[in-house]
Structure 1
């Protein structure tokens, strides 16, 4: 249970956030020229988020739900700091790690061992923290025999196993997860879910985006349903999932 002093200090605050994108309607210089000559519209504005506000407290597990284009992945990237809002504020308290583009910091010409240290540093870990967790990271990934091989020779499954293992062994306060639980075979997925539950039981704050509604309703206590760039529902995850299925 949260103490009162913790409850009034959110880990994440999203305050009246707006985010727009330009959607292009041409794919080449020739198409752009012809569209301009014919006075066709080259771009349109897409309002991904329109005045979204909520707080997430320490230790909460929250699912961001919504159909494609509802703004949930955009919101996760704003919380991670990958994107910035056009209006409003996104504030976080503590160290944040995002399982959003897993392995984005990996270098293909470096070995798995070298990439563990590189990616851990990108995620904010010190060399000492990485050394302390190194054996656990390698064991969890289940690719010990390939750890000194350049990752450009890895299969996609091996690459994602190692990248995911680094990310979930990072010392964090807030863990952001975007559709990454589809990596690997079912036993590895179950192991990943068990590890994420451990982190939540240790008091870490979780924010999850997934199309697997059964998984998020089981993993998360709270659900925030986004629709047309706004919050349509904020409450128990099972109620949010039920609304999605209507």
Structure 2
């Protein structure tokens, strides 16, 4: 058994859904405002070991994004325990953490610092990130002048090159043109194979998941319904889609 780097113990995340913004505001001052409760994650338990590559499947609303948000610390569980050990790099919102008034190069340092790197460490990686991002002379222009594609490429370049110990990818491999997407896929493959990085990959693209992952977790209505090898997990996921769509 290897070292456990991510562990969920009986984790539940509840959200309160109010009829409108006015009622949500009133709820700050009164507990009597009516609401509906949604369990985005319902008693979820799993362990992921260092170096594992795990795909999480599930239709929209299955709870995948909620699990990722709790791993990255964007959201917190209502009940249960979560343990995460290691530097996490999340390819979710690729441009989060960027300051639009700063140049691309300055933002490399900003994001690196947010991820816990020292300036000397970022300096070592600077040329690699700039080269990977392919934004040319724009690297020294304010990020507000970038197209959405350029921002995404720079965000991807920073996140995959800051030497993560846990890499979380959520459909982020669709950035840029075909050539850049292929480069992204190769980079993630290289990180997973050579650097013993733990990969958590959330996707609807089962063929892409097969390229990276050996294990698959299937979620439905906030619960884990299957957790095993990637091929059988894909079968279970595809079956659930086909049953729902009446293709059986």
TM-score for the superposition, normalised by structure 2? 0.89
For 2:9, what is the secondary structure of its paired residue? Answer: strand
Q: 2:211 aligns with which of 208, 218, 223?
A: 218
1:103–1:119 Cα contact (<8 Å) kept: no
For 1:11, what is the secondary structure of its paired residue? Answer: strand
Q: Which residue of 1 aligns with 2:107?
A: 115
Q: Which residue of 2 aligns with 1:75?
A: 67
Q: Using the alignment, how far apart are the partners of 2:73 and 2:192 within structure 1? A: 22
Q: Using the alignment, how far apart are the partners of 1:82 and 1:98 within structure 2? A: 11
Q: Using the alignment, how far apart are the partners of 1:114 and 1:184 within structure 2? A: 22
For 1:161, what is the secondary structure of its paired residue? Answer: helix
Please report how far the alpha carbon of residue 42 of structure 1 lies from its aligned counterpart in structure 2 after TM superposition. 4.9
Q: Using the alignment, how far apart are the partners of 2:171 and 2:115 within structure 1? A: 19
Q: Which residue of 1 aligns with 2:123?
A: 131
The RMSD of aligned alpha carbons is 1.8
Please report how far the alpha carbon of residue 181 of structure 1 lies from its aligned counterpart in structure 2 after TM superposition. 1.2
Is 1:149 the counterpart of 2:144? The answer is: no
Q: How many residue pairs get matched?
A: 232
Flag the 1:101–1:51 CA change in 2: closer, same or farther, 3 A: same
Q: 1:98 aligns with which of 90, 103, 106?
A: 90
Q: Which residue of 1 aligns with 2:225?
A: 232
Q: Using the alignment, how far apart are the partners of 1:221 and 1:126 within structure 2? A: 34
Q: Which residue of 1 aligns with 2:45?
A: 53
Q: 2:160 aligns with which of 153, 168, 172?
A: 168
Q: Using the alignment, how far apart are the partners of 1:119 and 1:145 within structure 2? A: 20
Q: How does 1:179-198 map to 2 (within 5 A)?
A: 179-198=171-190
| 1:202-229 deviation digits (Å, cap 9, x = unpaired) | 2000001112121112211111111121
For 2:219, what is the secondary structure of its paired residue? Answer: strand
Q: Which residue of 1 aligns with 2:243?
A: none
Q: 2:9 aligns with which of 11, 15, 18?
A: 15
Q: Using the alignment, how far apart are the partners of 1:122 and 1:20 within structure 2? A: 28
Any unmatched runs of 5+ in structure 2? 27-32, 240-248
Q: 2:198 aligns with which of 197, 205, 211?
A: 205
Q: Using the alignment, how far apart are the partners of 1:116 and 1:24 within structure 2? A: 39
Q: Using the alignment, how far apart are the partners of 1:159 and 1:49 within structure 2? A: 31
Q: Which residue of 2 aligns with 1:38?
A: none
Please report how far the alpha carbon of residue 231 of structure 1 lies from its aligned counterpart in structure 2 after TM superposition. 0.9
